[in-house]
Amino acid sequence: MVFGKTQTFKTQALGYQNKLVQMKRIFYLSTCDTCKRILNSWNTEGIYLQDIKTEPITPAQLDDMITHAGSADALFSKRARKYKELGLKNRKLSDSEIRQLILSEYTFLKRPVLLFDGQIFIGNSPKVVKDATDAIA
């Protein structure tokens, strides 16, 4: 997945039914002003809101998101404070390393992440937010 783009997934092509993708779920951070602004603009009725600070992402949830996003990098926030603190800018991180970083520190997840009717919307770029808004309208 190219950053900032919307990607649609066909679970049958993967050879199994993916429960997470069939769900309507938003992964967000309740202390993030950008997430709050976006959530206030969306119709979230019938969508499960998972505050990743109080309800951490499970390894299975993250694996499903990575599968559907095409890579862990598509979900990885390079704006997180810890990204700079840990000196990650000068390193080439593998998907496995990114996965571990996201699981160990919720701020590494690019947010919000919306899973809705077989589609995934990652991040807060204007195009992604508009596409997500259109999808859940």
CATH number at residue 42: 3.40.30.10
What gap in Å lies between CA 75 and CA 28, rounded to an integer?
12
pLDDT score, position 117: 85
- Is 1 domain-assigned? no
Distance from C-alpha of 59 to C-alpha of 11, rounded to nearest angstrom: 19
The domain in which residue 105 lies consists of 7-14+31-136
Please give the Cα distance from 99 to 136 (Å, whole number): 28
Q: What's residue 37's pLDDT?
A: 97
* Cis amide linkage into residue 126, ω under 30° from 0: no
The pTM assigned to this predicted structure is 0.82
Q: Distance between CA atoms of 74 and 76, rounded to whole angstroms?
A: 6
Residue 24: inside a domain, yes or no? Answer: no
For the stretch 58-110, pLDDT in tens is: 999 999 999 889 999 999 999 988 998 999 988 999 999 999 999 999 999 99
Distance between CA 135 and CA 88 in Å, rounded?
Answer: 34
Number of domains in the chain: 1
Tell me what the mean pLDDT of segment 42-69 comes to: 94
Percent of the chain residues past pLDDT 90, beyond the cut: 70
